Structure 1
Amino acid sequence: MVEKEKVKVSAMLTIMSAEMSFNRADGYVGQVEFTLEGHKNPYAITLQKSRKAKEWSYGLHFSGEPGSEDELFAAEDLIEDNDELYEQLVEAAKAKLSQREEEDSEA
């Protein structure tokens, strides 16, 4: 279940929701919905990291209604060029996995 909570992470990035799961077959799989300052439509980034991989892979798409292809390409360029922004997206998803693991251990 995706929790809806907006968190302004930086001047340009606001996290709307995040989730992540882990299983032995797929490794880590997560999704973060977010907005970027100056962009009309929200985005979703799907993150994946197998147990053996050293790097995260991702797919970027619009969350909900499609928007401008130019803005999508600009968002992708920003993610590629700004390691801090990318790490904030990954950390938002990882935090939800840790939170869920803590809740499961308390049950």
Structure 2
Amino acid sequence: MSKVTVERAGMQRDEENNFVGYAVFSVEGQTTEYEITFLSKRGKDWDYSLNFAGEPGPEEEFLKVDALIEADDELFDDLLDAAIDAGGFES
């Protein structure tokens, strides 16, 4: 697995009391930053969306990162934990 570095992250509750968070991260060997956003009603089952954080990069790199997140539960948990911790919530 390539090294992933979290640049910034955050988590808050929206007006419906859902958890809404994000983590902006980079992947070693790639020039593009990515943003993963998280959403959960109760802080247990998480939906996510992956996007480029700034300027779009190569689609094939994006698809590799998305597949990596899908396949690697530890990576997903690390990104989610960064968002939860930055928001002052307990994971």
Q: TM-score, normalised by structure 1?
A: 0.76
In percent, how many aligned pairs have the same letter?
A: 36
Specify the SS of the correspondent of 2:87.
Answer: helix
Please give the per-residue CA displacement for 1:46-99, whole angstroms capped at 9, x wherever unaligned: 100012x74210000001100011011000000011111100000000001217
Counterpart of 1:27 in structure 2 is 18
Runs of 4+ in structure 1 off by over 2 angstroms are: none
Specify the SS of the correspondent of 2:88.
Answer: helix
Considering fraction of residues, name the structure with more helix.
Answer: 1
Counterpart of 2:35 in structure 1 is 44
Compute the RMSD of aligned alpha carbons. 1.9
Unaligned ranges ≥5, structure 2: none
The number of aligned residues is: 89
Please give the per-residue CA displacement for 1:4-59, whole angstroms capped at 9, x wherever unaligned: xxxxxx961100000100146151000110001122201000100012x7421000
Unaligned ranges ≥5, structure 1: 1-9, 100-107
Higher relative contact order (CA closer than 8 Å, sequence separation 6+): 2
